[in-house]
Structure 1
């Protein structure tokens, strides 16, 4: 209870401008209290208008009120200071690197909660209260705190950007619709955002489907590599066993076949690993784009949404390679048959059978030959995979 009372005292005797305990407190005609230096500084900026207002309720005064120190209030504040009940602001309420600062805080700036497109200023929670409480600010346009308020205002008419010109594909103000963009196809920024976000929803679903498809292909490819490696290892072991039973004269041929199998295994696995790496990169990129669209779809700032969505991908297919199909499981069965026959034959037939071995080994692979079906698909492949030294040839259908 003592702590709650302390917080109440701090709020009652804090200056709404500097947010610290009142220094030389004064009460102006509307009843609100400020530090004398704070309200003087505020009214000094209104001298050229000749009309002075309360920063909280916006009540105006003519002429400039005479300020007198509120002795009783000053004594109460001094007692608060002696009891140690200083007004404290949590550290996370102060603006840090990258945060938008409140334009009305003096001294150490607080973090802005909203920006006003009419005032062209940003406000912390305390200085934002008049925009919520005073009828004078009822028509002001508040948006998420931003340090680039000029980007939300028409450079020609100095009015908020609230309209989207479909003809010129840019954000404009209402005066622009009667000027340079007269007779153009225009809608409100909110309406255009709804239309684009509807399209974006379809794109996000396509991204999700593509992610699931690629993840499935990646899993199939992993399983195929494991099966292929196991099959290759089994083929090596079988051939080693058969060749060991043969006479010394065919030892050299055994080494040739073993090397052939290993080379093909290495080439096939290397090819598959390359596609696996590409699939991982595509999945990461698809997830990144999906996340970017997800974050953008939740922003409340229509203008930021429209300006950012211009550079986003329309469909998830752009910049990605073709689908990958995995070949059925291979077990080097033909090789075993040929090697078994070779065991019963003499050296004079070994040279002929080695040529027969080469063909069944090289045709076993994890992935079929990938051939682009269209010119556009070929250009995508060339961009994604081909190095300057590559010399692949393709047939278009």
Structure 2
């Protein structure tokens, strides 16, 4: 069977429909062979069964018979073809030349093949064919083989022509056995393999450290992503609240405008109706008077003396009319309507803003911190003390990141200064200004002033009893709140903080109690009385 198949060509085993070697070959009554699936699909797609080769027509689908002989021959041919293809592939692989960058066989002549191993004794790299003696000859089996490498001469001692098999820890270099007992005799020399294990262990440890650093950075990435997500959620909430606030505000304004428009129009409609009623009544009287005037004119032109005298009494009387002397139509007064409408909108706006400020204050109060004024930072009293000299004190703790919030009771002082500053700012005389590192709110003889440049004077509706100080270090934001009314007093924005910030307080007045006798800070761990 095998010999016979070798004499046959591939064309004799091809299906004329799929042009591939037969799969499950069957024969038609006319003697032609096809793949069973091919002829079945061919006939299923045609209304009439017809042989694709001889065109013989079958009006009833004929029975297909499996061609055992053709099936066996086709299977044998496929097996032979596969074996031939595999053998050819193996031969091509064995004869494949090395790719650029790969180590070449030093023994090959002509086309250099890829080296499989390098011998440290022979200082030669071998392909699979030329490596066979090292795998079969007993003397060559003892040679040290390694994965193929270039520049084998670098592994040989240039002085003694011996393999570099030792490592000098003193000089941190590879040496040969002869070097270890001569030039490096008094040095700490160990076998190269031993040093390899030590350095490999160190490398593994260093790699573990790198993996730990990578892990920390991956965790930091997750932390940053979580921070971004929290920031987005906070931004969405803030935007949602802001949009709702302005929607309510616009609805209030539109509602106030509609009410004002309706009130003005109602007044105008009332005035127009009153005027229309008067005009209608006047027109009715004019009609009656005109009618009587017409009767008088008609009677006066009469030449019948008897008729004239007879009708005179009824015609001469004037029809009953109203005295219009004191009757007048005054235009309606619209004064104050717009003001009242705006006042109502303002009241609604104030209510909404109060609610907004209260919510804002509650949010920043989440960052309330416990702080105590540090007696060691009290500004010393000058030798020539004057009543208007400013003495100040800082909190005992400083902050260099994040957010923090303090509340300070200020109603016991007639003048005071409150805010945040750097620690080194209280060591001498310095002007309180944001450019000098003071972000403060002050109550002085001129009223309320903030330490901007130039200073800004504020007009507050009420005198604060307790002032809240909120700082967002990373955003460069300092805000002052009237805690009692939840109103925002002032905000410093876009500040540049580079050092720790401390709570700053000055009572401004030597007759008032000093912070040492009673710090004006609210303790966040208890409620103020």
| TM-score (structure 2 length as normaliser) | 0.32
Report which of the two has the higher share of helix. 1
Instruction: Select the structure with the greater relative contact order (CA < 8 A; seq sep ≥ 6).
Output: 1
